[in-house]
Chains A and B, each alone.
Chain A
Amino acid sequence: MSSIIASVLAGLCIILSTSLSGCSKDDGSGSSTSNAGISLNDALGREVLFERPAERVVSLSPAVTEILYAIGAGDKVVGVTIYDNFPPEVKGKEKVGDFSNPSMERIISLRPDVVFISPTQKTERLARAETLGLKIVAVHPVNLPEVYEAIKLIGKVVGEEQRSVLLVKKMMGEFSQLKRLVSQIPRGKRRRVYIELSQDPFWTAGKSSFVGQLVEVAGGDNIADLPLPYGTINPEVIIQKDPEVIIIAHPGIKRDEVGRRLGWARITAIQTGRVYDDIDVDMIIRYGPRLGQGARDLFKRFYPEIVNPDSENTE
């Protein structure tokens, strides 16, 4: 039984780490480019060398796929996971499986120059693939600065460094725009927010995760005070902290079911009807180019009374 539980925990980790991360704190992405080629350190702390930018890319993370498209390397993508759905063009790409059990055979047959993975407990198996001549790069940002680094790293690998820097700048610009709006709201008046990533048990994002930071950027006062980037939260803490806005960031339930949970009826968010289940979850839990849009979507739900940030946007 214990082995089952171990693999189950692994499975849970995988689910949460695919786009959320949570298993490893190590980021340490750094790189240097020289005439001799590209040398970089990936999220597993390994040094990976490229003689020339990768032309054929397999992405085992939907977030990485989105980044690749955003920096103009979409046509280099030759293989993705079954969960990839953005941008729409990705539908035509070869599917190599899910995050944890991709088909090694299919990956090899695609002759990729690089395989981007999210490090999980099954990484060892993937690392073994390096003896088959595959280049593996693990990407695993936990917070926003690490997201920026990861984007630059991906750009470096595919030879689109400049566009990746531009993407980071664009995202930072989107965030600072929001921050300007938020800064006009006094600290004490920021909305108390609970963001629910799953139920049974309740999972939420802490302040050290990019999801939590996104909430903060969007002017939310995250009620979760977790020792880890992501973790469980006891419902009584939610009731005590009395959030004004509840974001349901998982497809399990609908908003009216939240109000029927025992003891939740008196929570301000429920009393005022400020429970949202309509957010595009992928925009906030994938460390990709749409985080800025995700943050704006959060802001709109936190402060519907304030001017729509989209209207100010030049996009």
Chain B
Amino acid sequence: MVNIEISRLFVCYDDYPVLKGIDLEVAEGEFLGIIGPNGSGKSTLLKSISGIFRDFSGEIKVRGRSIRRWRRRQLARMLAVVPQDTTISFDFTVLEVVMMGRSPYLRGFQAETAHDLDVVRRAMEFTECWQLRDRSINELSGGERQRAVIARALAQEPHILLLDEPTTHLDINHQVEIFDLLASLNTDEGMTILAVSHDLNLAAAYCSKLMLLDKGRIHSIGTPGEILRREVIEDVYQTPVIIGKNPATGSPNLMLMPSELHGLVQGKR
């Protein structure tokens, strides 16, 4: 089953084209990593899919229905987003924040039911932040807060999860933690996941498929092995790299080098 279907997607910011014709299909249960340099349009693509930008031309279908025709509340039950910026100006407790994930299911003056709390609790246990429930969201470390925001997204009981740079600003242990979490959601729950990532190695290690964006277009799409090749990366990022193999997982692994060694590598080719 096709979960997301994008055809001829164009997005402009004040006459400046950001996405120039994206065609993409994401099947159910896929774990798609979206990579690409800064300004390649990764976040914009994600925001278009999640319905935050409606000012685009082309078509985006979620579960066969155009994104423009989804009612917000209905869409929020189908698709959840973990935004890049998770700062919150008010001292909500972690439980309160995660409980907001139930908003698409609750009406004004309606109290949460046992089911709502149950969903929230499972989401929080899954992301290991149930023990943090009474703490203020602003007291948490970056990794803890990211887990709480993911729990909020999970409380929406979505079929599709979109994440925008979920591991920036995090230490490596937390980066791995977050991606482990996503991987188990993908394999155990069958959730379709689209994650924008800066970290090519992490994306390659976890995602079933990678999509490389460059200047608003899809440069290439395929398995991590197909995308993380030297000529592809060097073409897009304009910097020499060495591609090795992660000895543990066997996934491709990208290594960088200081500029003065560039000539050396060129010579080796």
Asked whether any CB of A lies within 8 Å of a CB of B in the complex, the reply is no
